Amino acid sequence: MQFIDLKAQQERIREGLKKSYEDILSHGRYIMGPEISKLESELGSYIGSKHTLSCSSGTDALSLALMALGVGVRDAVFTTAFSFFASAETIALLGATPVFTDIDEKTYNIDSERLRERIEKTIEEGKLTPKAIVTVSLFGLAADYDEIKKIADEFDLKIIDDSAQSFGGIYKDRKACTLGDIGCTSFFPAKPLGCYGDGGAVFTEDEELFEIMKSLRVHGKGSDKYDNVRIGLNARMDTVQAGVLLEKLKIFDDELSKKQEVAKRYGDHLSKYVEVPVVANGYKSAWAQYTIKLKGLEREELLAHLKKRGIPTAVYYVTPMPLLKAFEYLQPTAKDYPVAVNASKKVMSLPMHAYLTDDDFERIFGAFDDFYKGNNG
Ligand X SMILES: *Cc1c(COP(=O)(O)O)cnc(C)c1O
| Residue 376: HSE in the Cβ half-sphere, 13 Å Cα cutoff | 10
Residue 296 to residues 232, 267, 270, 314, 375, Cα–Cα distance (Å): 48, 18, 15, 18, 18
Residue 280 to residues 106, 284, 302, Cα–Cα distance (Å): 10, 8, 28
Q: Which residues contact 69 (CB under 8 A, 6 or more apart)?
A: 131, 132, 158, 160, 181, 182, 209
Site string for ligand X, 175-214 (x = CB under 6 A): -----------x-x---------x-x--------------
CA distance linking residue 368 with residue 360, whole number of Å: 13
Q: Crossing angle, helix 239-270 and helix 34-47, to 10 degrees? A: 30
Question: Given candidates 63, 101, 109, 165, which one binds ligand X under the rule CB under 6 A?
Answer: 165
Q: How many residues bind ligand X, per CB under 6 A?
A: 15
Q: How far is the CB of 316 from ligand X (least distance, A)?
A: 8
Q: How far is the CB of 368 from ligand X (least distance, A)?
A: 26
Q: Which residues of 209-242 are buried (b: 16+ CB within 10 A; e: fewer)?
A: bbebbbbbbbbbbeeeeeeeeeebbebbbbbbbb
The answer to whether 79 contacts ligand X (rule: CB under 6 A) is: no
Which range touches ligand X (CB under 6 A), out of 22-30, 83-91, 92-100, 216-224?
Answer: 83-91
Q: Which residue is nearest to ligand X (CB)?
A: 58
| Residue 285: HSE in the Cβ half-sphere, 13 Å Cα cutoff | 25
Q: Which residues of 87-102 are buried (b: 16+ CB within 10 A; e: fewer)?
A: bbbbbbebebbbbbbb
Pick the closer one to ligand X by CB: 63 or 215.
63
The answer to whether 162 contacts ligand X (rule: CB under 6 A) is: yes
Q: How far is the CB of 117 from ligand X (least distance, A)?
A: 23
Q: How far is the CB of 163 from ligand X (least distance, A)?
A: 8
Pick the closer one to ligand X by CB: 168 or 200.
200
Residue 47 to residues 2, 44, 58, 237, Cα–Cα distance (Å): 28, 5, 16, 18
What sign results for the dihedral spanned by CA atoms 354, 355, 358, 363? negative
Q: How far is the CB of 65 from ligand X (least distance, A)?
A: 11
Pick the closer one to ligand X by CB: 181 or 360.
181
Q: How far is the CB of 208 from ligand X (least distance, A)?
A: 24
Helix (H, G, I), strand (E, B) or coil at 359: helix
CA distance linking residue 125 with residue 105, whole number of Å: 28
Question: Given candidates 20, 49, 54, 59, which one binds ligand X under the rule CB under 6 A?
Answer: 59
Looking only at residues 125 through 154 of this chain, which bind ligand X when binding is defined by CB under 6 A? 136
Q: How far is the CB of 54 from ligand X (least distance, A)?
A: 12
The answer to whether 98 contacts ligand X (rule: CB under 6 A) is: no
Question: Given candidates 86, 132, 193, 343, which one binds ligand X under the rule CB under 6 A?
Answer: 86
Pick the closer one to ligand X by CB: 24 or 237.
237
The answer to whether 57 contacts ligand X (rule: CB under 6 A) is: yes
Pick the closer one to ligand X by CB: 195 or 270.
195
The answer to whether 84 contacts ligand X (rule: CB under 6 A) is: yes
Residues that bind ligand X (CB under 6 A): 57-59, 83-84, 86-87, 136, 162, 164-165, 186, 188, 198, 200
